[in-house]
Structure 1
Amino acid sequence: MPPVSRVLPAAGVLAVAITALAACGGGGTTPGATGGEGAAKSGANTLAVQATDTTCVPDKASVPAGTLTIKVTNRASKANEVHVLRADGRTIVSEREDIGPDSTVDDFTVELAAGKYQLACKPGMKGDGIRADLTVVGGPAAGAPADARLSAAVEDYKKYVAERVDDSLRKTRKFAAAVKKGDVAGAKALYAPSRVGWESIEPVAESFGDIDAKVDLREADLEKGDEWTGWHRLEKALWAEPETLKDEREYADRLVADLEDLRRRVPAAEITPAKMAGGAKELLDEVAHIKIDGEEEFFSHTDLWNFKANVDGARKVHELLKPVLRDKRPELAATLDAEFGRLQTVLAEYEEGDGYVSYEKINKDAAAKKRLQDAVNALAEPLSGLAAAVAQ
């Protein structure tokens, strides 16, 4: 749930691509990490970016159209993030967040058609960023994949995304109705299930930056002048200020309306096999570097619902791409199968009824939290190689 996408509203949103292949989160890796090696082996074009507290300097002003792997070295005094923006300077094509000071990441991969773009480095991960122009030359990025199995995977994933959005909208309507009736207990029970569909396809949902800002903004992400709407506003009212619930009816209706808007826009999202793979990695990085500390569901502590939805969304991508992956990288396919299974086993230990235990229990048990984090990291590392393997 990257805060930066909330301050860069999408323009011409029907044309915006999925915010995938930006391995969201991660405190920075060293050169030669698994994802970077996979990208290098795939023969993708590369771009090196040096980021400091005051500069954002790419080593090239232009690159060929197609798959581009961006190696970012952060020499800033604080965590940094890099965005690839369309020529309007607002619409996000892809992003890589949480690059730690004095670290390098080389698993940031994006597909670009010919045209004008901007790079934005954001020391401290806030503000409009330090900009640099980038020109992409040559023919357009590859369209439909030649392999019929990849074409089928894309079509199946589009159906999955539509189903997940419909699921979230259907459950959110029930959640909103409970909020409007002042039914605190009922709304609390419906809150986490209403978010599962969204969380399972979050990279797609976040590509529509204006909707993401409206429905999924946390209180901690608010900047001066922001209006707080969406799930987390209602979450706070339910768990921290239930006496104010009667004042939240307008926001319950707006949440439903914004998800209806998402459902209308989703068919226009650009989906490719590589973007599917990158989105899967992004989902795992969200868990490993943001949600693991319980920051997202600060009031309800329903974080494990989100964990499971993120993992399920990533696993769906793996299953769809696995027929091709088995041919190209059978050892990677086997590793991912095993690590997905291990993580699912760990998550199952915290099931309670139809859902999960409060995340407060995890935060109070350092050993349990480490075990969960280790399982997520063990999966996230090989998953970073999926995009490069598919692109080979």
Structure 2
Amino acid sequence: MRPAHVIAAAGAVIASLSLLSACGKDDAAGGKSGAIAVTATDSSCEVGAKSGAAGATTFKVTNKGSQVNELEILAPDGKIVSERENIGPGTGAEITVSLSAGTYKVLCSAGMTGRGPSQTFTVTGKGKATDPRLDAAVASYRIYIGEQVDDTLAKTKKFAASVKKGDMAGAKAEFAPSRFGWEAIEPVAESFGDIDPKVDTREADLEKNQKWTGWHQIEKALWKTGSLKGEGPYADDLVNEIGILKQRVGTASITATSMANGAKELLDEVATGKITGEEDTFSHTDLSDFKANVDGAQKAFELLKPVVQERDAALTSDLTDEFAKVQKLLTKYEKGDGYVSYDTVGKSQRKELSDEVNALAEPLSKLAGVVAK
């Protein structure tokens, strides 16, 4: 989650993604679409219904506040079922989720702090039986998530060892690889809200009196401060937090629609941090994170593809083509086992990358709706 003052710099990119669409008259009332209207302001979160039936549920949010907002759907155990970030003032967005019986919270977070007012939403009934192919996709995605967490933990341990030895060259080489698995499953990793701020907070994201820890704190020491003195405890803390993620990731709430929404969130991550160069501001290793986000989104799509192909062949074709184009473009920037420093990527080249992300984001925003049919 990125605070509003950080998001503002990426506003032009986000707006061009067609991820946010203004809500019309019908939408504001729940309207013809059957979506549940949510009205967010800087201090309130009004939900147009207090309850609903189990199954696919669409929330359509309108931001009438002055700050960038975020909509979160929280499960009974407090974990994030799904979220929609970067909802600018005067704009709207929608999110489709699959909900089983239980009491949920619909939370609006002005400034995208992960906190804010919420309303209770009660789900009853059993819902319709899910397509067994979607159940299989979720099961396979859980395996993929486990693999990415294992990869992150192993590479972070190696990175931390170099940091503790004072090996600047080794730690620099291991920084981007240690983050790759995390970035590939970032929506799931972020659902554990107590871990994300400790491992992936950027300097510009820090709140007042917040202790800065994690990858980016060490990144600054490597590329700006030029000294690893005193960084050992930070490295140990980073390994410890990824270890906690490994223990807990099996409890993450995952459905076919959350996979589809997560794929879109990963493209949002590209737009708000990687394209702009704000993610790895000291190391300029943004293209590695870019690749991880795209790979993670594509994995979710590929697992859902058999069902999507049957329900919307045109969308399947568009997504297959657009993922291929983005992946092909990224190969232009490969260097050895990684990528060129992002500060060497010129303005016109960044625009080319942005245009390809835009072209992929538009059809990807339709994926959850098709999965939920």
- What are the within-5 Å matches in structure 2 for residues 267-346 of structure 1? 267-346=250-329
- What are the within-5 Å matches in structure 2 for residues 31-46 of structure 1? 31=22, 46=35
1:377 and 2:358 matched: yes
- Report Cα offsets for 1:228-278 as digits up to 9, x if no partner: 1111111111111122x1201011111111111111111222222111111
1:114 and 2:108 matched: no
Counterpart for residue 166 of structure 1 = 150
- Report Cα offsets for 1:55-86 as digits up to 9, x if no partner: 32222233333222111111212322222335
Cα distance in 2 for residues equivalent to 1:344 and 1:370 = 16
Counterpart for residue 21 of structure 1 = none
User: One-letter code of the match for 2:195?
Assistant: I
Counterpart for residue 92 of structure 1 = 80
Q: Which runs of 5+ in 1 are unaligned?
A: 5-24
Q: Measured at CA, do residues 67 and 2 of structure 1 come closer, stay the same or move farther in structure 2, by a change above 3 Å?
A: farther
Q: TM-score under structure 2 normalisation?
A: 0.89
Cα distance in 2 for residues equivalent to 1:133 and 1:321 = 31
Q: Measured at CA, do residues 117 and 272 of structure 1 come closer, stay the same or move farther in structure 2, by a change above 3 Å?
A: closer
Cα distance in 1 for residues equivalent to 2:63 and 2:171 = 43
1:63 and 2:52 matched: yes
**Deviation (angstroms), 1:374:** 0.7
Q: Are 2:162 and 2:171, in contact at CA under 8 Å, matched by a contact in 1?
A: yes
- Report Cα offsets for 1:33-61 as digits up to 9, x if no partner: 9xx9xxx99x8x52111222343222223
Q: Measured at CA, do residues 92 and 299 of structure 1 come closer, stay the same or move farther in structure 2, by a change above 3 Å?
A: same
Q: Measured at CA, do residues 262 and 250 of structure 1 come closer, stay the same or move farther in structure 2, by a change above 3 Å?
A: same
- Report Cα offsets for 1:83-128 as digits up to 9, x if no partner: 233568x64333221111111212x222333333333323333473
Cα distance in 2 for residues equivalent to 1:330 and 1:344 = 21
User: One-letter code of the match for 1:128?
Assistant: R
Cα distance in 1 for residues equivalent to 2:136 and 2:253 = 15
User: One-letter code of the match for 1:98?
Assistant: N
Cα distance in 1 for residues equivalent to 2:104 and 2:14 = 25
What percent of counterpart residues are identical? Answer: 55
Residue 223 (structure 2) aligned to one of 221, 235, 239: 239
SS in 1 for 2:282: coil
1:80 and 2:69 matched: yes
Cα distance in 1 for residues equivalent to 2:272 and 2:127 = 31
Cα distance in 2 for residues equivalent to 1:333 and 1:299 = 38
**Deviation (angstroms), 1:298:** 1.1
User: One-letter code of the match for 1:139?
Assistant: G
Q: Are 2:81 and 2:253, in contact at CA under 8 Å, matched by a contact in 1?
A: no
**Deviation (angstroms), 1:141:** 5.9
Cα distance in 2 for residues equivalent to 1:111 and 1:239 = 44
- Shifted more, 133-142 versus 322-331: the winner is 133-142
Q: Are 2:326 and 2:356, in contact at CA under 8 Å, matched by a contact in 1?
A: yes
Q: Measured at CA, do residues 141 and 200 of structure 1 come closer, stay the same or move farther in structure 2, by a change above 3 Å?
A: farther
User: One-letter code of the match for 2:178?
Assistant: S
Residue 134 (structure 2) aligned to one of 133, 143, 150: 150
SS in 2 for 1:223: coil
**Deviation (angstroms), 1:359:** 1.0
* Pairs aligned (count): 357
Residue 29 (structure 1) aligned to one of 8, 13, 20: 20
User: One-letter code of the match for 2:298?
Assistant: R
Counterpart for residue 7 of structure 2 = none
- Shifted more, 304-313 versus 48-57: the winner is 48-57
Cα distance in 2 for residues equivalent to 1:47 and 1:347 = 39
User: One-letter code of the match for 1:314?
Assistant: A
**Deviation (angstroms), 1:317:** 1.1
Q: How well do the aligned residues superpose, as a CA RMSD in angstroms?
A: 2.4
Q: Are 1:328 and 1:389, in contact at CA under 8 Å, matched by a contact in 2?
A: yes
SS in 1 for 2:111: helix
**Deviation (angstroms), 1:204:** 1.1
**Deviation (angstroms), 1:3:** 5.4
